[in-house]
Amino acid sequence: MKNFMAANWKMNKTIAETREFLRDIIPSVKEVTDVDIVIAPPFTALSAAGDAIGTTNIQLAAQDIFWEEKGAYTGEVAPAMLLDAGCKHVIVGHSERRQYFHEDDTVVNRKAGAAQKAGLGVIFCVGESLAERESGKTFDIIRREVEKGLEGIDAGNLVVAYEPIWAIGTGKTASPEQAQEVHAFIRDILRKRYGETAEDIRILYGGSVTPENVKSLMACQDVNGGLVGGASLKPDSFAKLVCYKKEK
C-alpha cells in the first residue's frame, strides 16, 4: 500500500506564498514514488497551486466542498469548481468544520457523496475531543462518525483520517499505541462495511504530526500516512515528512 501524506494549510498562505512553497518543495520530493503527496491550500490559491504543480508528483486537494452542483449558495464551492481548479481530492468532516461550522454527520455524508459523484477522492475525517476521550467515549464517537458519515459512500478513492481533536494544533500527539488502537478499530469498522476492500483504504493520522514523531507513528500497522497541519506550512518540514523513510 502506498502511503499518503497530505498538507492541510487551513486558513494560511496567499497565492504568492503558495507559489513560493511549491517552487521550493517540488525539487525536494520529485523523486518520491512510494508516497501520494497531497497539498490542500485555501480556495483562493487552488488554481495557482494547480498551475504550479502541473505534471509533478504532487496532487491538489480542497479543504471543503458543497453538495450542490450550482445555485444560490453564497460563499460555497461546488464539486465542478474544484475539478476545474485541478483538485483530485477534498477533505470532508474536518474537526474544525464540525466544531466551528456545526457540520454534523448528515452534512459530512452529503459532502462526501457529492465529492465521489464528481470523481473526487474523499479524505474523510473523524476524531474525538479531550472530554470524550477522558470519559471513555472515544470508540463510541469514532463508530458513529464512520458509520453515519460513510453511509452510501464507496471504498474506491476513499481515505480516512483519524484526528484526535485534543492533539490538533496543541503540540500534543497521540502515542503510537493510542494511534494504532484507534486506527485498528476504524479498520475493523471498514471491514464490516466494505469487506476485503477495507485493507486497501489508507487511514491517516492527523494531530500534531512532525518530522520528530512521524517515524514512530508510521511504524504502526494501520497508520498509512498523515494529515498534517502546522508542520506542512514550511517546505523543508513537509518534505521531511514525505521523505521520512530517508531521514536519519
State the DSSP string of 213-224: THHHHHTSTT--
Closest CA to 206 of 161, 147, 156: 161
CA separation, residue 55 to residues 4, 59, 220 (Å)? 18, 9, 32
Closest CA to 4 of 32, 37, 29: 37
Q: Please pick, among 89, 96, 163, 183, the residue that the annotation labels catalytic.
A: 163
Catalytic annotation on 94? yes
Closest CA relative to residue 59, chosen from 28, 88, 80: 88
Q: Phi/psi at 226 (nearest 5 deg)?
A: -140, 150
Catalytic residue among 94, 96, 128, 132: 94
- Cβ atoms of residues 132 and 163 within 8 Å: no
Which three three-digit cell numbers place residue 113? 457523496
Active site residue 151: no
Burial bucket for residue 70 (CB in 10 Å: 0-12, 13-18, 19+)? exposed
CA distance 141 to 39: 28
Quote the crossing angle between the two packed helices 15-29 and 46-53, to the nearest 10°.
30
Q: What distance in Å separates the CA atoms of residue 97 and residue 123, rounded to the nearest whole number?
A: 13
Catalytically active residues are 94, 163
